[in-house]
């Protein structure tokens, strides 16, 4: 009787511990995925905030070039206006 009980009890114990380990592993994976998602969202918010606060050097150079072109166009317009006598 005891041998029969042990023959059933030992595999059942192994099966239950395996199921518990699988459940814990799945919970850990789900938690890790959630943490990664929150981390990615935080990273996107930080990058968006930095991009909204600071201007890249390339953008500064383009803006400066545009300002110089506008000043040159205004100066050219003034020269043309003075040359025509208006």
Q: Which residue has the higher pLDDT, 57 or 38?
A: 38
Do 4 and 35 lie in a common domain? yes
Do 69 and 37 lie in a common domain? no
Structure confidence by residue, pLDDT tens digits, 48-81: 888 777 767 788 889 999 999 999 999 998 888 8
Do 45 and 67 lie in a common domain? no
Do 47 and 85 lie in a common domain? no
- The whole domain housing 68 covers 55-86
Do 31 and 4 lie in a common domain? yes
Buried-exposed string 43-65: b where 16+ CB fall within 10 A, e elsewhere:
eeeeeeeeeeeeeeeeeeeeeee
Do 35 and 59 lie in a common domain? no
Q: Token match 């919970």: residue?
A: 27
Number of domains forming the structure of the chain: 2
> What pLDDT score does 85 carry?
67
Do 48 and 25 lie in a common domain? yes
């Amino acid at each position: 009787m005891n041998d029969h009980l042990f023959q059933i009890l030992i595999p059942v114990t192994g099966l239950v511990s395996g199921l518990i380990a699988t459940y814990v592993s799945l919970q850990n994976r789900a938690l890790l995925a959630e943490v990664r998602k929150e981390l990615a969202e935080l990273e996107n918010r930080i990058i968006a905030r930095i991009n909204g606060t600071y201007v890249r050097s390339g953008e500064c150079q383009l803006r400066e070039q545009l300002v110089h072109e506008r000043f040159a166009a205004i100066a050219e317009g003034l020269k043309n206006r003075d040359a025509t006598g208006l």
